Chains A and B, each alone.
Chain A
Amino acid sequence: MSILVDESTRLLVQGITGSEGSFHTQRCIEYGTNVVAGVTPGKGGSKHLGVPVFNTMEKAMVETGANASLMFVPPAFAADGILEAIDAGMPLIVCITEGIPVLDMVKVHRYLKGKTTRLIGPNCPGVMSPGKCKAGIMVGEIHLPGSVGVISRSGTLTYDVVSQLTSLGIGQSTCVGIGGDALPGSTFVDILKLFQADQDTKAVVLIGEIGGTMEQEAAEFISHKMTKPVVAFVAGSTAPPGKRMGHAGAIITGSAGKASEKIKALSQAGATIAPTPAEVGLTTKRVLDGL
């Protein structure tokens, strides 16, 4: 099994006609994802990459039965696109867009309250259930179907970790990039809950980084609610305080934001800490061998 996306996913792409939208939609289709609709205001009624394009989310969902949305809308318009998707009742939104203003996301989170929509991202590589569905921009070939769940705040570091796992013969149930922003739609805890409930996920790899307190909240959950083993790595041990390390969320503003504090919390919660980013695969193998 897997979480969030699988063979039953009917993917809609918001911003399908843009250059990034086109490039990655094509790759999702090649991977075998069932892309049923695209939305670009003003381009409704046309076809793009063989996919019908609609002006509004509401119409696209009614006509195609889409049940997940992948977003490539530019940052200035992205929050509006997310709001439109929530309003249309989209169950899952995966937002790739990087650079959305924080206060726009505050509004989005306010609007999400009480709704059933799940938001992944923004500023993330997307969600991948190997062999079933790719809803994102990750490299398809490095993945292998299996039973390890992966959650990460980073994109390319996740690719490296996934390829370490795959080269050791360790497949993945689902890989979820929650994104590098300060206000992600879903947190580590949100996704840990899903992996804990997923029968076919045996263990979880969690890739955190400096900034915020999401890793500490994950540690809290792992210690009280998780029965499955968790392997963790936190990037940014050598990052200086007060400097934004690329991601909007990766900035040490208080002591809780430091890598050392996060590693301590995760370790005390019973997660196995990979000593280096290059040994996440091997650490996971040791944990799985011990099960």
Chain B
Amino acid sequence: MKIHEYQAKVLLAQYGIPVPRGKVASTPTEAREVATEVGNKVAIKAQVYAGGRGKAGGINIANSPTEAKKAASQLIGTRLVTRQTGPEGVPVSEVLVEEASDVARELYLSVLVDGTSRLPVMMASEAGGMEIEEVAQSAPEKIFKSYIDPAIGFQPFQGRKLAYGMNLDGGQIGEATRLMANLYRLFVDKDCSLAEINPLVVTVDGKLLALDAKLSFDDNSLYRHKDIQGLHDREQEEPLEIQARDWGINNYVKMDGDIGCMVNGAGLAMAVNDLIQYCGGRAANFLDIGTLNNTDRVVNSFKMFVADPRIKAVLVNIFGGMARVDVIARGIVEAYQQMDIPFPVVIRLAGTNLEEGQHILAESGISFIRANDFYDGARKVVEAAKGAKK
């Protein structure tokens, strides 16, 4: 789960990490008030989950409270299109107004869990301000890493190694070491999946400051962080994905095609989408229906498809294991009873309670295209979608 920059900075400050003075504003008038409070030159930063704000015009400098109000009015209520968003962009409903800093150097700092060593790793680089992936490509020697033993936590020697790696000196070494220890403490306390400060700047007077911050959290641990759950901004998510979650379908991702897919299991759902593309079609979504005890999620998946005007045909591909085929079949029949299904539906069923499931579909008299296997299902749904276009 992601949160906004201003929320991340509040958390950083709670953990003793220096951040610029500032506050969030949701109206231009509020922005002017914050600018007056902060004084002098301020940065007006659009609060969106997507990166690449600077280049997209989402960050502006204002020299007076009046300018701050004007800059805020140009952002609030608009949609920001960055290289990380689609052409429709993401809504800006708040801006962070903060003291503009005089920057001498831009550094990079982050903590995440490394999949290979299965340990948290602190990464630092003097090449801040750019994506760490780009640095890894162009100047890998500038990235320094310290793997952290969870039993003893982050140690001062690790901080010194990274601080010297970033070419800091003098009192900055101790300051940076403490900052890193605090960032690790935050990472562990709040079950972050990523805690990134980019850039971590050295100001012209030699102080360290977290100029931008990105925190994201492990979805699996949110149950023990009620404070973090409340920070989520639904408006930043894809509307179809919000709708899916509201209907109990947690594993739904919007794709850009026109074939609706309902599958059980994440790997199988990905493979179904791959196979549809191989057969010349494009999936409109990834949908892993998970394990079912009732038919609700099947009916709701059909509601999703009916509500999505892009859908030309639907493929249901179920290999029953934990999920039982008869429950899925009953759900499909209920969906047909509850709504008009305006597109062809291809159904492939296999696994636990297959015969019962097939019997339920046959008895119901609903109209659908039966597929015998995985490949057959993909081929038939691509044909059906093409036919529907005519």
Contacts and interface: CB of A to CB of B under 8 A. Distances in A.
Interface of A: 20, 75-76, 99-107, 109-110, 125, 137-139, 142, 152-160, 163, 180, 182-183, 207, 209-210, 212-214, 217, 233, 235-240, 242-250, 254-255, 259, 275-279
A73 B288 CA distance: 22
Contact of A240 (B218, B255, B275): B255
B322 interface: yes
Given A100-B220, A103-B218, A245-B266, A213 B116 contact: yes
B269 A245 contact: yes
B278 A276 contact: yes
B268 A160 contact: yes
29 contacts: A76-B224, A99-B220, A101-B191, A102-B113, A102-B218, A103-B221, A106-B118, A106-B120, A125-B321, A139-B320, A153-B267, A155-B267, A157-B268, A157-B271, A159-B351, A160-B268, A160-B271, A182-B115, A183-B113, A235-B271, A238-B273, A238-B277, A243-B253, A243-B286, A245-B269, A246-B267, A246-B288, A276-B375, A278-B378
B188 interface: yes
Interface string B238-281: 00000000000001010100000001111111111111111000
A217 B115 CA distance: 12
Contacts of B278: 275-276
A242 B86 CA distance: 13
A209 B322 contact: no
A276 B352 CA distance: 24
Given A125-B321, A137-B322, A155-B265, A248 B274 contact: no
B287 to A, nearest CB: 9
A235 B150 contact: no
Given A101-B191, A217-B116, A239 B286 contact: yes
Given A76-B224, A102-B191, A277-B275, A235 B116 contact: no
Interface residues of B, number: 54
Contacts of A259: 274
Contacts, number: 172
A125 B119 CA distance: 25
Contacts of B149: 110
B374 interface: yes
Nearest to B256: A240
Contacts of A240: 253, 255
Contacts of A110: 119, 149-151
Nearest to B194: A253
Contacts of A109: 118-119
Contacts of A249: 115
B301 interface: no
A63 to B, nearest CB: 30
Nearest to B290: A246
B250 to A, nearest CB: 9
A228 B188 CA distance: 42
Contacts of A233: 271
A247 B113 contact: no
B220 A139 contact: no
A197 B233 CA distance: 51
Nearest to B188: A103
Contacts of A180: 266-267
Given A102-B220, A277-B374, A278-B378, A163 B277 contact: no
Nearest to B272: A277
Interface of B: 84, 113, 115-116, 118-120, 133, 136, 149-151, 188, 191, 193, 218-221, 223-224, 251, 253, 255, 263-278, 283, 286, 288, 319-322, 350-352, 373-375, 378
A102 B269 CA distance: 23
Nearest to A212: B115
Nearest to B151: A110
Nearest to B133: A254
Nearest to B264: A156
B208 to A, nearest CB: 26
A142 to B, nearest CB: 8
Given A137-B322, A157-B270, A244-B253, 4 more contacts: A101-B220, A156-B264, A183-B113, A250-B270
Contacts of A247: 266-267
Nearest to A247: B266
A75 B224 CA distance: 12
Contacts of B224: 76, 101
A243 B188 CA distance: 23
Contacts of B255: 238, 240
A278 B373 contact: yes
A180 B115 CA distance: 12
Contacts of A75: 220
Contacts of A76: 223-224
A159 B266 CA distance: 13
A278 B320 CA distance: 17
Given A159-B319, A182-B113, A210 B270 contact: yes
Name, among A142, A158, A163, A246, the residue most crowded by chain B CB atoms within 10 Å (CB to CB). A246
A248 B253 contact: no
Given A105-B118, A137-B321, A157-B265, A237 B277 contact: yes
Contact of A238 (B218, B251, B274, B352): B274
A245 B253 contact: yes
